[in-house]
């Protein structure tokens, strides 16, 4: 019996491409840990020396959550606010250990 070929819809044929930045607008604080951990793991795999995480200025709850996660990831060398021209305290720049 021949196997039926499964057709993949066109919109699913090209996987989402993750870059060296992550925008957390729209995420809830309880989602941040998993999203940031996965993003950093991907960045390390891709050998990015530096990445940017946009969390917004607001009340800084997302920023606090991001920083709590980053402190516990061994591949993170350091992190700080972006320069004012690149978003200031609404973005965090993360330097990663690359081999």
Q: Cα separation of 52 and 64, whole Å?
A: 15
Judge whether residue 11 has pLDDT over 70. Answer: no
CA 25 from chain center: how many Å?
A: 12
The residues spanned by each domain of the chain are 19-96
- Cβ atoms of residues 96 and 48 within 8 Å: yes
Nearest-angstrom CA–CA distance, 95 and 75: 9
Instruction: Using the predicted structure, report yes or no on whether residue 63 has a pLDDT greater than 70.
Output: yes
Phi and psi dihedrals of 59, rounded to 5?
A: -95, 5
pLDDT in tens, 16-60: 566 899 999 888 889 999 999 999 999 999 999 999 999 988 777
- What would the two tokens of residue 70 be? 């980053």
The pTM for the full model equals 0.80
Determine the pLDDT at residue 60.
79
Q: Beta strand 76-81 with 91-96: parallel, antiparallel or unpaired?
A: antiparallel
Give the torsion through C-alpha atoms of 22, 27, 33, 38, to 10 deg.
-40
Q: Which CATH class is domain 19-96?
A: alpha beta
Question: In the chain, count of helices (H) and strands (E)?
Answer: 3, 4
* pLDDT at residue 58 in the model: 75
């Amino acid at each position: 019996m021949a196997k039926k070929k499964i057709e993949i819809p066109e919109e699913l044929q090209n996987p989402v491409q993750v870059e060296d930045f992550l925008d957390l607008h729209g995420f809830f604080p309880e989602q941040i840990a998993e999203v940031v951990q996965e993003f950093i793991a991907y960045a390390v795999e891709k050998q990015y020396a530096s990445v940017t995480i946009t969390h917004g200025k607001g009340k800084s709850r997302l920023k606090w959550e991001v920083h709590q996660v980053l402190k516990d990831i061994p591949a993170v060398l350091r992190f700080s606010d972006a320069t004012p021209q690149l978003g200031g305290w609404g973005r965090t720049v993360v330097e990663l250990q690359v081999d």
